[in-house]
Amino acid sequence: MRTILLSLSILCFSLFSCDSAEKTADPPTELTIGTFNLQFLADAPDTGEVPRTAADLDGLVRLIDWGGFRLMTVQEVLSADSLALLQAHGLASSWRAAVGASGGTQKVGILYDTRVIERLDDVRELDNDDGLIPADWSGLRYPLAATVRVRGGFSFTLVCLHLKAGITDGGAAQRARQVEQLAAWAATVDGPLLMMGDLNDTFEGIHATIDTLTALQEAGTDVGRFLTADLPAGDFTSLEFQDLIDHVFLSPDLDARVVPGSLATVKFDQDAAYDGLTISDHRPVRFTIKLE
């Protein structure tokens, strides 16, 4: 029943009119993908828990453009209008978005550029029908899943994640249960799978005794692995804690398509062009896959 109700409440929309989305002459040969926690992006300038000025929003759009992203999972957005706000500050007219219904002021979403991505199909929040236990997700952000249809015919399942935060015993245990449920679900998925987002934990574990990512780390090579394990030692995404907590998990068939050397965290905080701007307290993670 929850899935049926959510089919009415998932906010899937076009940021711009359909006739404004230009298509490239030929199908793309590569796709640059990223995940980015936008730190409480509101739906209007100078509002919300982390207010953004017009200059801040211009800088955020510039970062998306500079990163070369064509598909992104995003976390901590207030509503669909939070993402439409980016268009008002220069995001290309070819971009579209889907936003989950759960999460309150910290919803998750998928941004995609229709010059490369044809469409998203079957956009929905994973729930108890997928083996998730509502007690571990209710009041938080359910994972947002979709089938990504790339121009040229390639397709894969994408899941945007934002897991339980916290270093308390209870918070870490809940996050571990979420990961266990995701690992069990991932093992049932046919075809290429990409799960990524803010997992709120490191490979070493931020809790003294509970390593919450273990179930996915040990999911098996036939299910997938963390691509972010390939980042250089000491690299991080949380600017506040300097921890690597934003991750990419992908199935073997997608892993084989990753362009060598393309995986990186986007260190905008080290670029003087962003000095004095409120962008995010997270760095994006970026990588590229081959489509041919």
pLDDT tens profile 180-192: 999 999 999 999 9
pLDDT tens profile 10-40: 555 555 444 444 555 689 999 999 999 999 9
**How far is the C-alpha of 120 from the C-alpha of 74, rounded, in Å?**
15
Contact 158, 194 (CB under 8 A): yes
Residues 6+ apart with CB under 8 A from 199: 161, 163, 175, 179, 212, 213, 245, 246, 247
pLDDT, residue 12, reads 53
Domains of the chain, by residue range, sit at: 2-16+27-290
Is the domain 2-16+27-290 a CATH 2.40.10.410 member?
Answer: no
SS3 179: helix
- DSSP lists the bridge partners of residue 213 as none
Q: Give every residue of the chain whose pLDDT is below 50, as ranges.
A: 1-9, 16-21
pLDDT, residue 275, reads 98
Work out the angle between the directed axes of helices 54-67 and 80-87 (0-180°, nearest 10).
80
pTM, 2 dp = 0.94
Contact 42, 278 (CB under 8 A): no
φ and ψ of 188, to 5 deg: -95, -10
pLDDT, residue 292, reads 87
